Structure formats: structure tokens, C-alpha cells
Structure 1
Amino acid sequence: MYCKGTGRTFPSGLCAEGFVCVGGAFEHSPSDYLTGFPCPVGFFCPVGTSKSKPCPKGTFSEQSGLVDSSQCQSCSPGFYCSESGLFAVSGPCLPGFYCLDGSESASPASGPSGGICPVGHYCPEGTSVPSPCPAGFYQNDTGKTDEDDCKPCPLGWFQDLPGQKECDPCPPGFHCKPLSPSPSKGTSTGVSSPLPCPAGFICPRGNPDSQLLPCPKGTYSPSQGLITTGQCLMCPAGQFCGSEGLVEPSGSCAAGFLCLTGAKVPNPTDNRTGSLCPTGIFCQRGLRAGSWDDRHR
């Protein structure tokens, strides 16, 4: 309260809002710092204030003369305000945590003002929004602080979304194997998208190492996405497939030989995939071209 003038028997009225009136105040808005003063930063002063009221925890105020707690600022995202009556934030949120608007703690428990950094993410110092691990990586622990804490998907697994706690198994007909190291991660590169199994190879179901298995000798395949060796094509009659992983036959069989389907060499003699040209028969490009009787007619 304040008492204006002399000879009064009762106070003139309440101290003005935004001010503090101490003993002997003779104005409703004193600023002599003896009988009163403007409400200081970090505090608010409604009408009739004799002792300034601190802005509550989770808030602060850089301005003087506040009249209500609603004028106190919420603690900035990424920072915390651990005490009442603050004129500045207490400091940045600790690594491994995130602080939302109005946080009272540098390491808040999960709640409306923040929490521990969730799985699939990392939170450096001063985090307000957890950063997701990139696609091709995962993080199954909480409280991580750096992107280097994100783990690359292992061979045979992939992750096409950011911010995930686990990777998915590579589907049949695809392979999940890093093709080249990441410049920022060295050799620790995860797979973000399965690649179709290349022509000449198979990618079976449940292939933990995502190894490319070649179509065997005697077969080939021009198609992508095979999942069993049975999908590889048998080398056609008259041709041979002399190595693994072929996308087309190696070539025609040798003169004087008969090549059946599945030949692995140009001059087969196993009598299963081919043989020497039979007696009385002549063979061209590994195929029966006619008989000697035909030639002499």
C-alpha cells in the first residue's frame, strides 16, 4: 500500500500493478528503491504487492514490470528452467534427453515437458526434437546422444524409414548388401532399400548373409529376382553354359559333338548333356544336322 500526502489516518490505496511498495511508500508506483521499485525481472507483481512473486519453475522473464504469472515466458525448447524467479534459462538440455517448451529439468522424465531420447533417435546437447537415425540404420536403445550411435542394418536386412528401432529381413528375390561405403560412415553403411537379385543369380528366402548365389554351370538366367535354382534356365540344345552366374549361354558347342540341354562344356561326353556325334550322323553347332545317308543320296 502507499500513503500519499501528510496527516493521513489510513492508506491512500493499493500499490499499482507492476510495482512493489515497501514500508513508507508515498506513491502508488514508487521507483526510488527505498520505499518501492518496479517489479524486477524474473518476478511478477499484481496490484497491492509488497513482495514480488517469482516466475514459477519452467518459466523465466527478461522483462521487468510484469503483473501476472501468465506473462512469464515458458522455458525455451531445448533448454530447462530449474528454479523459480529466473531472468534467463538455466541451461541446455543434457545429451541423451530432449526438452520441450517449459521444461523444469535438464534430464526430464518422459512427459509433457520432454523425456529420454527414444529408440530410433539420438539427442545431442540442447535437443528439443529428437533426431531420427537415417534410413539404413536403426537404434534399439534409449538415451543416445550422437548420430554415430545409430547402427547400420546388418547383412541381409534393410530399413527404408528413418527413426526405427529395428531392421527388416531382406525379401526373397532381393539382396540387402551395401554396394559401397558411405563417405561419412566409412564401412558402416546400412541398406535402405532392397535391390533386385541380378540376372544370373538367385536370392533365396532366409539368406542371412544376403549372398548372391549364382545359377550353376549348365544353366543361365536373363531375368532378375530369382529365388530358387529351379528358376535358372537349362542351357538349350546345341549350346553350352560353361560357368556360373551366366545371363546367356556361353556359346555353340564344338563341331563333332552333340549337345543336349544343360551342357556345361562345348565337347560333352557324359551321354547325359551330350556326346560325340553318333556314328552315321553329322553334327553342326552341337545339333544333329543329318545322316551320312542323307548326304549321299
Structure 2
Amino acid sequence: LQQPVPCPAGYFCVEGTATPVHQLWNYSTPQICPEGYYCQQGSCSPTGTAICPRGYYCPEGTIVPIVAGFGQYSRIDGVIEPVVCPPGFFSDVDDAFGCWTCPAGYSCEKEATVIPAICPPGTYRGDSLKQRFCMSCPEGRYGDRSGRTSVDDCYICDAGWVCGTEGRKTKPQTDLNLLCPPGQVCPNGTTQAMSQEFPCPGGYFCPAGTTPASQFDHICPAGYFCFNMTSDESYKQFPCEKGYYCPPGVIMPPSLLGSQFRCPLGTTSDAGAISIYQCYKDCKELRFCQIISSVNPVVGEDIIHVEPLEMAQLRMDWTHKPQIYFNDHFTLSIRINGRPEAVTLPSWFWNDTDRLKQIAFDVWLYAVRPIDVTVRIELFNGFFIDDMSMFLNTTTVTNFRPTRSNMGVAFKSFDYAFYAMIEKTTFDSLQLELPLNLPNTNNTEVYIDVGLNQTYPNVDQQRDAISTITENAAYWETGFQGSSDRVLIPLHYFPFISLCKRFSSHIPVEFATSDPNSCDQPATIVPVGSFDVGITGVSDSCDFVTTCEIEEELRIIRPRVRWFEVDSGSTLFYLTRDPQPNENYFQGYAYYQKLIGSDSLVPVIVQSDRPVSDLLYIPGHVSIDLQYFQQTSVLRRLVSASITFQDWIEVPSSVVEQVMS
């Protein structure tokens, strides 16, 4: 008999195996080790030596389990072949039971990844399985480091530059071709599309690389006009038109601006004129012959110069004038800066039934820009030419300018004053009606009011037609300096307060806080600091009082709230905490909108004890209380402000029902 020999490795031999030569399905011969098992020498069953352990795989005929290689894994026992790591995973060891998720900042783009690839500069990848690849930094950003894990790791490109491609690896400052295009304004993170979305504002020109902060650095030069999107070269294509003059900052052809920059009647100019003094006599235009005669009624002055924020009081005494009728036989003409057109006086003054006007009254001129004013009494009817001498020396002029606020030193014309602001959010939230004394295109340089005094006391005569001064919500977009994105209107004067003695519709904030007739202005100021104990402060104090009328229409129920009906505790408008230089006003409302929500604006809080009733009441007394900290005689800072409505008067129901019925 032959001695038994061990079953060969990779096979198993059941009892009775007679030969070492394998024959399929012949169990008297060795059978190949099945898949998922391994068979060492001498295996005697179909399960071989043992089941293939996890981390390994065993194909048919396995003698020793085969380790799962790099980028592969075997999660369970009995695996016949390894599983490759899918995209987004990796395995950097053998005999692995599974794969690891590709870490943030790396990519595992292919199957069987062994070592993740770090995301190169200009790209990023988070830890989301949805991102198989490193994503390019979007337009408007750049990434100068590898391994970035978020789009926030891509730096936002600086203002004044255009990052118009994805996947930028360096700052745009390394390529001057990426400067913001001339005539455009580029904020932080400007993309290719954004580089054409923010044109240079009208009245200015913008060189390459202009930012939001520098867009007002280059005012359009005198002698030219600058549309939106004007560059430092293109403005030279638009010289001022013949017959006009262009000071700095003109936004369009002056012929489209009416008479604002037209040469005075009877004169013309060459193209590119920069001031009214370059207008010269043009005999072809000497057709102004309506005026028979004119006289200057001002005592001792032919031209009245008024600086910005200055008020000129023209006290006119017509009590002894000749028996001629206003607007039929003569008129009052006030002209600004030599322009041919007289400024428009309040409509009530023209429409007053007292056509003889043998009265004494005041004309207040509040300048926004420097102005030269000429006053003339002009005669239409030559029959009365001998009576014109009676107007001579009937007008005296008194100028008032701010002297107790922070005074600018750079330019004489740019003094400082407190400004009032009305905000669109306030009007929308309170459902508030707009003030009746809003700016219009007739008072871009000067506010003109005819104020009453003791010889012309009937305030009700001073009432303008309500339809001529009422604005609706469209004013934010269509009114003076209107725009679709305007949410704030800066004012030199108190809003809402109108139809007042002396000042009519415009009481400058600065006048109310500096009027020498209403204020105690000590020569020496003693400020009290936070840690000063036992020191008594010495500062200005003002008690400015005037008489006003409620100008709003009371006979009609209005859909929105009137200003004096606002609830106590509400904010009606704002005042600047610090005096503002007048030059800021000419940057437009956009300059002041940056102050919204900041400590630079002081809310004027309503204090009201209005009766709770369905009846209509109006306040008999309105007071504005301003508290400020005064450091010197010319430096004050507003601390708080309030407006108080009290002494309420019931409006008779017959007045309200008169129109409604």
C-alpha cells in the first residue's frame, strides 16, 4: 500500500481522493479551493483552511489571502476581489477595511486614489462629497495659496480693479490691464460684468482705477461738462457750448439746464467759457425792451454778495411808494449772478389781492452757493416813469452768517452748519406725508422767502396754493436731485415748519441756533468734561420764537399721517450731530446716505400729548429742543433733539365736513 500524501495547496481533498491530478467535478481528485476561501496544503473541505478575512481577498484557488492594495478595501470576510475607492475617497494603506473621505482643500478625482491631490492656488474644495474636483475661485476673487477649503478663502479683489476670470492665482495689481476701465467705478470684488455697471457720476470724470471712495475726487473742469461715464480723456470732447459758461461740475450740456449757465441777456461766449465774466456783448441778441425803466432801491449797494449759509435780509419799505399797481405797472426783480431771468418770488406774493402793496416787508435770501444779487424795481408802463425815483433808498440789507459753529479754514465759502435730514424709511414706516417745504428746481442756489413784519401781519395772506407745494412719494425719485436709490434728503433748514413770520417756509437750522437777537452768546465758553467736578459750564443758549400757521389742508381727510399727528416716541427727522461743511452738500444725497444708522445723525424724537379722539386736532404750540455740548465759541456738538406738540386745538367738524359733504 502507498503512504497518503497531503492535498496540494490551493485545493481541497475529500475522503477517498485517489490521485493528486485535478479533474473538475471528480471528487476522487483534488478540487480547486472555492472563491472567498483559502486552502493551504492538506485542506480537506470546501471551506478550505478558513474564510478569507476582511482586508484581504481570495479568488478561486487561493493559497494565502491576498492583501487589499493601496486605493482598495475589503470591508467583510469572504471577499473574492477588492473594491476600489470611488471618486471622493482615498486609501493610503493596504489591508484596509474601507476608504477615507477626501479632506477639504484636496481632491480625489479618480477611482482608487491613494494620496489626495492638494487644490492648487486659484481653487478651493470643501468637504462635501458633491464636490469631486477643486473649484475655481469665482470672478471678483483670487486665491494665492494652495489647499483652500472654502470660497471665502478666495480673497475679494480690491476696489479699483477687475477680476474678470475664474481661478485667479494672484492679486490683480500685478497686471495694469486689470485696472477699472476709465469712466467706470469699481467696488470691491468687481467682475467683468460689474465693471460696466457703475458709471462715473455726472459732473465728475473718472480715470482708470476709480473706486467708490475716489469717484468724487475729480470734478469736471471748468469750461467742460461731464455726462455719466466720463473718463479723464473723454471730458475733453465736451467743451462748454457757445453762449454759455461752465463752472466746475456741470453734468450735461448747459443748454439743457435752462438758464442756469446761460450768458446774460445781450451777451454771448466762445465755446469752453468757464465763468460769466467770459460772456461778452452780442448786439444780435439785444432784444430785451419790455422794461421801460428800472431803479436800484438798495441803500448804498448795487450788488449784494451773499456767501454760502449766509442769510441776507432785504427790508423793503413801500409804504410811501407811488400809486401804481404791482405786476400791472411795475415788478420787483431779484437776479442772481447776473442772469437775465429774475428769480421766482412766492406765488402768494404775486397772487395777493393787494395789488397796490403800500406795505413794508422782508425778503430773505438764504444762499446755498456764493451768489451776487441785484435788486431792481422795473417799470412796464412809461406813464409812471417820473414816479420811479420814489423807490430809491427804500431797501436796506442786513447779512447774517453762522459764527458759533465749527468754521472751516480751507475756503472762506465753505463754512460749517448743522443740517436736517429726512429719511424715506421713516416716511414709509409712519405712513407720513412729505413736508410742504421740500426743495425744488427753483431753489438750487438760493432759498427766497417773503417774510411778514408788523406792517403786513396777516399770515393767512401768505399761504401758497396747496397744489403747488404738495408732493407725493414719487418725489424721492423725481424731485430735486431725485433718484431711484435715494433714501435720504439733506436740508439746510427745518422740515415741516413753514408759513412763518419772517422766514415763511425755510428756517435755517443754523439761524435758529445762532440768531444774535434770540441767543445769549457769551464771549468766553467754559466747557464741562466728563470728569470735571464742581465746574459750572458757560455756553450759548437760544430761545428762538416765531409765529407759524399749519399750512396743511385740514378740510380733507388724508390717507397718510400729517407731521403733527405722529405718535410720541417716533423719529420725525434727523439732525447732523456735528456741523457739516457746506461743500459736502454738493456731493449730493449719496454722501449723506452713508451716515444712516451711524452716530453722526441725531434723531429728532416726537413728544406729543395729542388727545385720543376721532376728531381732528392741531397743536397750538410746537417747540424744538436741541441739547448740545459746546467746547469753544465756534465748536458745538449736538447731543439730543426733540420736537414737542402741545396745547392742542380741536378743528371744528364743520371745517372737515365742508368739503367731504
- 1:254 maps to which residue? 264
Find the aligned partners of 1:283 and 1:119 in 2 and give their Cα distance.
74
1:140 aligns with 2:158: no
Higher relative contact order (CA 8 A, sep 6+): 1
Alignment of 1:118-157 (within 5 A): 118-125=120-127, 128-157=132-161
Q: Give distance in 2, aligned partners of 1:39 and 1:245.
A: 88
Change (3 A) 1:83 1:245: farther
Q: CA deviation at 1:225?
A: 5.4
| Equivalent position amino acid for 2:74 in 1 | S
Residue 169 in structure 1 maps to residue 178 in structure 2: yes
1:47 aligns with 2:65: no
Q: 1:283 to 1:160 in 2, by over 3 A?
A: farther
Q: Is the alpha carbon distance of 1:158 and 1:283 closer, same or farther for their aligned partners in structure 2, counting shifts above 3 Å?
A: farther
Amino acid at match of 2:247: G
Which residue matches 1:192? 191
Q: 1:4 to 1:260 in 2, by over 3 A?
A: same
Paired amino acid for 2:191? S
- 1:202 matched to 2:202? The reply is no
Q: Distance in 2 between matches of 1:280 and 1:208?
A: 45
Return the offset for 1:257.
Answer: 4.2
Are the structure 2 counterparts of residues 281 and 137 from structure 1 closer, same or farther at C-alpha, using a change threshold of 3 Å?
A: closer
**Distance in structure 2 (CA, Å) of the matches to 1:281 and 1:83:** 97
Q: Identify which range, 157-166 or 192-201, moves more after superposition.
A: 192-201
Match of 1:236 among 216, 237, 241: 241
1:169-206 per-position Cα deviation (integer Å, ceiling 9, x unaligned): 1364343512xxxxxxxxxx40002227445543435x
**1:33-87 residue CA offsets vs partner (Å, 9 max, x unmatched):** xx534434432213322321111011113465444xxx42222222221221223
Give 1:291's aligned residue: none
Query: Which residue number in structure 2 is paired with residue 292 of structure 1?
Result: none
Q: Counterparts in 2 of 1:267-286, with a 5 A limit? A: 268-269=276-277, 273-275=278-280, 277=281, 282=286
8 Å contact from structure 2 (residues 162, 189) kept in 1: yes
CA distance in 2, matches of 1:94, 1:160: 29
Show the counterpart of 1:17.
Answer: 35
- Give every structure 1 segment of 4 or more consecutive aligned residues whose post-TM-superposition deviation is greater than 6 Å: 278-281, 283-287
* Cα distance change of structure 1 residues 8 and 20 upon mapping to structure 2, 3 Å threshold: same
The amino acid of 1:237's aligned partner reads: K
Q: Per-residue CA shift, 1:4-61, capped at 9, x if unaligned?
A: 114757472331233222465323x31xxxx534434432213322321111011113
Task: Supply the distance in 1 between the matched residues of 2:185 and 2:76 (Cα, whole angstroms).
Answer: 58
* Greater fraction helix: 2
Partner SS state of residue 50, structure 1: coil
State the SS of the aligned residue for 1:148. Answer: helix
Partner-residue secondary structure (3-state), 1:219? coil
Work out the CA distance in 1 between the residues paired with 2:85 and 2:231. Answer: 58
Matched position secondary structure for 2:97: coil
**Aligned equivalents of 2:94 and 2:76: distance in 1?**
15
Cα distance change, pair 78–84 in 1 and its aligned pair in 2 (3 A)? same
204, 214, 222: which one pairs with 1:217?
Answer: 222
Residues 79/174 of structure 1: CA separation in 2 closer, same or farther (3 Å cut): farther
Change (3 A) 1:45 1:25: same
Secondary structure at the residue paired with 2:272? Answer: coil
1:230, 1:7 → 2: CA distance? 106
Counterpart code for 1:235 = C
Distance of 2:168 and 2:139 partners within structure 1: 8
1:19–1:45 contact (8 Å) kept in structure 2: yes
User: Following the alignment from structure 1 to structure 2, what is the Cα–Cα distance between the partners of residues 100 and 123?
Assistant: 12
The answer to whether the 8 A contact 2:107-2:133 is kept is yes
Aligned to 1:99: 108
Structure 1 residue 248 displacement after superposition: 2.6
Distance 2:224 2:274 in 1: 8
Q: 1:129 offset after TM fit, Å? A: 0.8
TM-score, normalising length from structure 1? Answer: 0.70
Instruction: Give 1 or 2 for the bigger CA radius of gyration.
Output: 2
Cα distance in 1 between the residues matched to 2:235 and 2:37: 89
Which sections of structure 2, spanning at least 5 residues, go unmatched? 1-10, 21-28, 289-337, 341-661
Deviation at 1:256, TM superposition (A): 5.0
Give the unaligned 5+ runs of structure 1: 109-114, 179-188, 288-297
The answer as to whether partners of 2:266 and 2:286 remain within 8 angstroms in 1 is yes
How far apart are the structure 1 equivalents of 2:204 and 2:13?
97
> Closer, same or farther in 2 for the Cα pair 1:280/1:63, shift >3 Å?
closer
Instruction: Give me the whole-angstrom Cα distance separating, in 1, the residues matched to 2:148 and 2:252.
Output: 47
CA change 1:152–1:20 in 2 (3 A) is same
